[in-house]
A = this chain, B = another copy of it.
Amino acid sequence: MIAIGAAIALNACASSPVALRGTADLATVIARASGEVAVLDTSNKQFTGIIGGLGDLSHASIVYARDGRFAFVFGRDGGLTKIDILSHKIVVRTLQAGNSIGGAISQDGKLVAVANYEPGGVRVFDAETLELVADIPTTIDGGPDRSKVIGLVDAPGNRFVFSLWDTGEIWIADFSAGNTPSVTRYQNIGIQPYDALITPDGRYYIAGLFGEDGMALLDLWHPQSGPQRILDHYGKGEERLPVYKMPHLEGWAIAGKRAFVPAVGRHEVLVIDTETWQEVGRIPVHGQPVFVMAHPDGRHVWVNFSVPDYDTVQIIDTQTLAIDGELKPGTGVLHMEFSPRGDQVWLSVRDDNKVVGYDPYTLKPIAELPLPSPSGIFMSDRAGRIGL
């Protein structure tokens, strides 16, 4: 049975009491063309409300406060907005930079960090008030230029880890002693890191490289050992296809003892053994992969693709590495997100202006909800997940 939801309007009624409810089954969905974030009730399979006025969300992401009620929206235009997913309101908003790409929340929930392109660097804010508490410019050789920052994640011990696109570095900013971080720089990690993930336990930080074929691995338990190159030359000297959409790396790449990551400019998913960090397989797929996400039970990974192949999602068996299933949800499948125990998966289908829920075991649709230009979907369960 599919629940068809009606489109919902901005909640303008400030005086109605908001119904008491839990937050664990809620998710947020970016409506990228209209600067809005919709709140999805995954138990009732309906939107509960929508929050507008969030600026340029053409590339945006969300992290959650430790209570699961408040969330932080990182907008492309440098907007940083704290929202309340229960009352569907903006709590605090700041335009903290000219152009930014993502963010993270600290382990203790007190600090929110933003990865900025312009000016290059990381800015860190008090999670309660969004007051600036630290500014980490990613200067290049002590000169006036600053590197774009990508791949910003939180790590255990109240640290933030991020990479520098222009200079090929990984930095760790340690806030465990207070609001003035101690910063450690790791240089020569590779050419043009474009995104990064941290393993679910927060031990390994893995940056994907765009300027060459390979990834950089940093063991945060032994960072003094420095970055290690993995999957080196995975392109085998072959010419890369034009890349229209950068792949994305998330902690959900890990399934059991393996990591599944998108190859850049190739129609392949690469499989890494997380004990040896060696490549143990590669899977030919439908197009250039954008997101490769493991189901919480680790048995399958789901893959979506860049234009022009973004009408398709493939489902790979993590043991056999075979493609077990395929979905054609519509045009512009931008993101996928599993419910925390894996009973549902939600897909945003941008060009069809809808969000579709599926039973990931039977592949039957369970809901289809209209939303203009949906993109990222974020379960509030991420409030309790290192690196997300």
Contact = CB atoms under 8 A, between A and B. Distances in A.
Interface of A is mostly: loop
A201 B66 contact: no
B21 A67 contact: yes
Nearest to A299: B221
Interface residues of A, number: 53
A380 interface: yes
Interface stretch (A142-150, A187-195, A338-346): A338-346
A296 B201 contact: yes
B297 A275 contact: no
A259 to B, nearest CB: 14
Given A43-B66, A299-B156, A385-B341, A23 B24 contact: yes
Contacts of A342: 107, 156, 386
Contact of A384 (B24, B202, B257): B24
Given A221-B319, A341-B384, A384-B340, A20 B86 contact: yes
Contacts of A25: 66-68, 383
Contacts of A385: 340-341
Interface string A84-126: 0011000000000000000000011100000000000000000
A255 B200 CA distance: 11
A256 interface: yes
A253 to B, nearest CB: 14
A221 B157 CA distance: 35
A256 B380 CA distance: 24
Contacts of A381: 24, 381, 383-384
B109 A203 contact: no
20 contacts: A18-B20, A20-B69, A22-B23, A22-B65, A22-B67, A22-B68, A24-B67, A24-B68, A25-B68, A66-B343, A107-B343, A108-B341, A109-B341, A156-B341, A201-B296, A203-B298, A221-B299, A221-B319, A257-B257, A340-B383
Interface of A: 17-18, 20-25, 42-43, 64-70, 86-87, 107-109, 154, 156-158, 176, 201-203, 221, 255-257, 275, 296-299, 319, 339-343, 361, 379-381, 383-386
